[in-house]
Amino acid sequence: MSQGGITEFILLGLTDDPELNTVLFVLFLLIYLITVVGNLWVIIVVLVSAQLHSPKNFFLSQLAFLDFCYSSVFIPKMLVNYLAGQKAISYRGCLLQYSFVSLFLTTECFLLAAMAYDRYLAICRPLHYKGLMTTTSCIHLVTVSYLLGCAHSLTHLTGLLGLSFCGPNVLNHYFCDISLLFRLSCSDTQYNKALFIVLSGTTSVATFLIVVSSYLGILLTIRSAAGRQKAFSTCASHLLGVTIFYGSLIFTYLQPDNPSSLTQAQVASVFYTIVIPVLNPLIYSLMNKDVKSALRRAMQRKLFA
């Protein structure tokens, strides 16, 4: 129970149209199944294929794990709500849901930066790459990403636990978004809002700049036209996914406080919470020759077993 007496919140979802809810249930169920299968496939293939035991693919498997985790935090609950017509989520469940979404999203920001830096070292500093990007270095980068994600999440969770919620308890969203929780609180949330903007803004901008500068460095370093074209095709696909992720994330939380912007932010949040987890395996795996060849060999062994 919150300090103001609220024991649960009501998640309105994307629409209150029963027929459209049925369509959304089928659509999101399909997307979730593809997300789970796609990301678990990446994790398993990288794990069991000895030729994929490289820093690049290690980071790829970690990205797949994060996408699987944070889509699983809220999509199953959303599907249950669509199926059962039940829109309530407990106060504790709501705060935990936001905390895990925040943890995995923030960790992914730092992991994307680490992945881009890894590619920069591999292409632009090939002689020093093996010495710099060791197994220990990779584990450290992933560990630091998770620690920063935990620190970010726990900071905001602590702030939310200090707020009072006296009513109303209706969230016009499909998951417990912190900006809407600020609006429902009957406490003074100015400090919480400022802290959220500073921490989230700094994290998003800093990691995005690392990603962009790393890929630009790759393109500027390669001299040959053929090499640059090959690098550009890979970088462009990665930057497309990164742009959708960061663009929708930043757009969601920089909207002015009015009803129309809330709807726009809700639609934008679909991209970084639902679309990106299903796109990442396609973007990063289909452009990865090692992963594709490992999949081909696995399918051939299964067919001729």
List the Cα angle 122/238/283 in 5-degree steps.
Answer: 110
Closest CA to 276 of 68, 106, 96: 68
Look at residues 132, 88, 94, 87 and name the one whose alpha carbon lies nearest to residue 114.
132
What pLDDT shows up at residue 4? 61
Q: In the CATH hierarchy, which fold is given to the domain comprising 8-303? A: Rhopdopsin 7-helix transmembrane proteins (1.20.1070)
Domain ranges of the chain: 8-303
Look at residues 220, 214, 272, 222 and name the one whose alpha carbon lies nearest to residue 239: 214
* pLDDT at residue 62 in the model: 95
The model's pLDDT over 89-131, given as tens digits with 9 standing for 90+, comes to 999 999 999 999 999 999 999 999 999 999 899 888 888 899 9
Give the CA dihedral 222, 226, 231, 236, nearest 10 degrees: 120
pLDDT (tens place) for every residue of the chain, 305 residues total = 556 678 889 998 887 787 888 888 999 999 999 999 999 988 988 888 878 888 988 999 999 999 999 899 989 988 988 887 778 899 999 999 999 999 999 999 999 999 999 989 988 888 889 999 999 999 999 999 999 999 999 999 999 998 888 878 898 888 998 988 998 988 888 999 999 989 998 999 999 999 999 988 888 887 777 666 766 666 777 788 888 888 888 777 666 565 556 777 788 888 888 888 998 888 877 667 777 676 677 666 654 55
Q: 207-247, pLDDT tens digit by residue?
A: 999 999 998 888 888 777 766 676 666 677 778 888 888 88
C-alpha pair distances (Å), 255 with each of 1, 223, 258: 30, 42, 8
Distance CA 177, CA 170 (A): 12
pTM listed for this prediction? 0.89
**89 DSSP β-pair partners:** 9
Helices within the chain (DSSP H only): 18-48, 55-84, 91-124, 126-132, 135-161, 178-184, 190-221, 225-253, 259-270, 276-285, 289-303
Dihedral angle of Cα 38, 147, 121, 213, to the nearest 10 degrees: 90
